[in-house]
Structure 1
């Protein structure tokens, strides 16, 4: 079986560090190794295998590969599962599985690994059991040393975590780690959740069951809020207000009385990822009042009304120079408007989202600059609008989008350059990629 790109979710649950490399043609027991050309031959490497989310019947894993030997122009990582696990989707590599044996081959953007360079791949799978205990890279068994210096144990790298899959504006300004430096707590009641969110120390908060909130509830800096499978927040919302470094993942929001998630008052470095939003009073994800460096990724908006507002009002000119946000791989599924509705922010990056049966997709107003790239629009009356309602026009640059039964994309002016690296999927494949990967478990 082969698997294409999907994005990961979750936070660290268990880690198997494996230091790789060295012996000339050693391979995993029972596996055949196809010789590779000289430029691909591995001299040494290390691997760190992390299960980032585990809900019993399935899991998400991140695999960090560090090249401790000579430069590589392409690579193939192989291992055997010990517990009957089966990969159902992956990202940053092409995966093939036969029985328990798995091979992961580089894709175009990560094939070249100079000495000391690293890349992270990952996948979602079913089943459970023991983690892999042996890997080979280009046919060489992994133990972490460089054959040219057998006494050097290599560098196992940083412990990793949810930022392995982070793309976009939240990677800037020092990056976004949430509560990764703190302890992990589990909550299943509104009082426990609110108390944990408002603690001053870094914290990973694991949410289980259905939690009924009232009103908007503050989230302090350095927090990761992640749902166990099926976790739901209803009635109220999360207020990310004047803070830094917040990650919100794998939650379903419903029947919110104000906003589901409100990012405001200069909050920075926020990542909103792999959540599901049904219907509520106002915005599903609103970002405003000088907030900045935000990524909104792999969310499923299922019938929402006012989906995603970016910018408080036409009169709030203090938003100029802020509101730099990336929206990617979101599924706007019969949701009505604001995907997003943008004021002032430039550049705002909207790429590889799937729009289905919406009133309008993107609106750029009040001098905003929006790059609309590689999206799939299906049955969308107005995929992108220059200006909206009584707001002054903004700018839109559009490229490589795919339209099915939809109106025209309006464009105007120019947009500031995107400062971070990213690898967009082909627009024609976005529908299948996003519908199979977006939303909460």
Structure 2
């Protein structure tokens, strides 16, 4: 788990001076943010200030990063934070059960907590059940329940929304439970265990609720929002620019119509991607390759289960087309992990993970177009995504480099999310940017980039455009409906061709992205 940036804003009862600072910070962000974060805590400062506990044995420990731990398993245990006056909000927390003392024990997230014995809660039980419940004076009532797999040692994201009399709980963005109840109208948030040990991390409380449009950024239209459940991973069909009918193709279908092979060795993989004609290639286990290896047209390359790894090298697309790459973890690429170049088109890169490439994770260059990059996890990468390789490439790039980038998790990655030259439109929507130390998106060399409905957390420079970037000249960038928390302003300039003229899309409410994107991005989620 990557180190988490700590932020405590909102109304925690930690003294008048701290409250004044929190109010000032909130007001300073009001012009940029389109939804308010009432409270967040990732425990990276090593303490649990602002939390009140009851029962159990609570401490801040280390589990890859700092976490709040409850190690006792012989009783109930609860920890609460925030304001008793909060009304409508969504609280999300990552939780890892570490021990269950007996059958049907649980870990939980709390909302509208009145006291240690009265609140709403979403309980993840050892009996492979999740329950939406209320506790009134110590007496519990189950409002809704469904089956989910539960195990110790696995991180799970629990989210509980309270809006008026409506309650809504999710596990990893799915397993949706809903109920209506009027018992509690206000209250704190919290976490709990019942004869169980657990670690808790990344507690976030926002005032936005699913299905309710968040206030728009000044001078920008509000994004459309969906009242349906949070976004689920794509079911197997390309969207965005990869779905567009163009250049003789009706979207991107990969190896459909061809045979299926399973590869487990370097020789097997290299032979399969060099085969002429449609082919579905199932990658099983770890396969070591060197450099960037060419992929011929009409291929689906998909990892088997959760352990498919391409290590040491990557894939190169040279005048290739109609290729799908999904569910593969790329590690330690000695150059780029994926290079889409030389007029390649209709490429869909979905649900992959990128770890420690020497150069870029994904480059889209030299006239490539009709590319969709979706639901990928960029895990602390440096140069995450380059679109347009050179300031001198106008002749081959202008009118091309059409790319959709959505629901990706830029997790502590440094830069290029993406960096764009010449491409238009490049559509960056519904991504979660977390702690990107150099910058988020850069539009240069007259590129046209639409940055829409994203969530930026702890990003000092979300967007560059009017001033260019490094040695590259200025680009054009439109931003609308984004959420900026603990982040700087997004630099905008000019107008951009609307991607809706190429394909239909529906924006998800950006307030839910810190929960749904980490739960859905990367391998093992297709």
TM-score, normalised with respect to structure 2: 0.54
Cα separation, 1, equivalents of 2:226 and 2:513? 20
Cα separation, 2, equivalents of 1:180 and 1:161? 15
Moved more, 417-426 or 368-377: 417-426
What SS does the aligned partner of 2:514 have? helix
**Of the candidates 438, 450, 470, which is equivalent to residue 371 of structure 1?**
450
Q: Does 1:216 align with 2:292?
A: yes
8 Å CA contact 1:162, 1:177 repeated in 2: no
Counterpart mapping for 1:158-177 below 5 A: 162-163=236-237, 166-172=238-244, 173=246, 174-177=250-253
Report deviation, 1:438: 0.4
Q: Does 1:251 align with 2:328?
A: yes
Report deviation, 1:162: 2.1
1:35-82 per-position Cα deviation (integer Å, ceiling 9, x unaligned): xxxxxxxxxxxxxxxxxxxxxxxxxxxxxxxxxxxxxxxxxxxxxxxx
**Of the candidates 255, 274, 279, which is equivalent to residue 179 of structure 1?**
255
Q: Larger C-alpha radius of gyration, 1 or 2?
A: 2
1:277-302 per-position Cα deviation (integer Å, ceiling 9, x unaligned): 01111000000000000000000000
Q: Does 1:435 align with 2:518?
A: yes
Cα separation, 1, equivalents of 2:430 and 2:231? 19
Runs of 4+ in 1 over 3 A off after TM superposition: 87-91, 94-97, 108-111, 121-124
| Equivalence for 1:275 | 352
Counterpart mapping for 1:218-237 below 5 A: 218-228=294-304, 229-237=306-314
Counterpart mapping for 1:416-431 below 5 A: 416-418=497-499, 419=501, 420-431=503-514
Q: Which runs of no fewer than 5 residues in structure 2 stay unpaired? A: 1-169, 179-223
8 Å CA contact 2:331, 2:356 repeated in 1: yes
Distance 1:216 1:200, change over 3 A: same
8 Å CA contact 2:172, 2:516 repeated in 1: no
Report deviation, 1:381: 1.2
**Of the candidates 394, 402, 412, which is equivalent to residue 334 of structure 1?**
412
What SS does the aligned partner of 1:162 have? coil
Report deviation, 1:201: 1.4
Cα separation, 2, equivalents of 1:427 and 1:361? 16
What SS does the aligned partner of 2:384 have? coil
Report deviation, 1:356: 0.8
Cα separation, 2, equivalents of 1:90 and 1:245? 30
Counterpart mapping for 1:41-120 below 5 A: none
Counterpart mapping for 1:184-203 below 5 A: 184-203=260-279
| Equivalence for 1:115 | none
Cα separation, 2, equivalents of 1:88 and 1:261? 32
Cα separation, 2, equivalents of 1:264 and 1:201? 20
Cα separation, 1, equivalents of 2:177 and 2:414? 39
Q: Which runs of no fewer than 5 residues in structure 1 stay unpaired? A: 1-86, 98-107, 112-120, 125-159
1:86-141 per-position Cα deviation (integer Å, ceiling 9, x unaligned): x96678xx9669xxxxxxxxxx9999xxxxxxxxx9968xxxxxxxxxxxxxxxxx
1:12-50 per-position Cα deviation (integer Å, ceiling 9, x unaligned): xxxxxxxxxxxxxxxxxxxxxxxxxxxxxxxxxxxxxxx
Q: Does 1:385 align with 2:458?
A: no
What SS does the aligned partner of 1:196 have? helix
**Of the candidates 295, 303, 319, which is equivalent to residue 242 of structure 1?**
319
1:208-231 per-position Cα deviation (integer Å, ceiling 9, x unaligned): 111100111010000000001211
Counterpart mapping for 1:120-131 below 5 A: none
Cα separation, 2, equivalents of 1:340 and 1:123? 23
What SS does the aligned partner of 1:262 have? strand
Report deviation, 1:428: 1.0
Q: Does 1:396 align with 2:483?
A: no
| Equivalence for 1:266 | 343
Cα separation, 1, equivalents of 2:409 and 2:402? 20
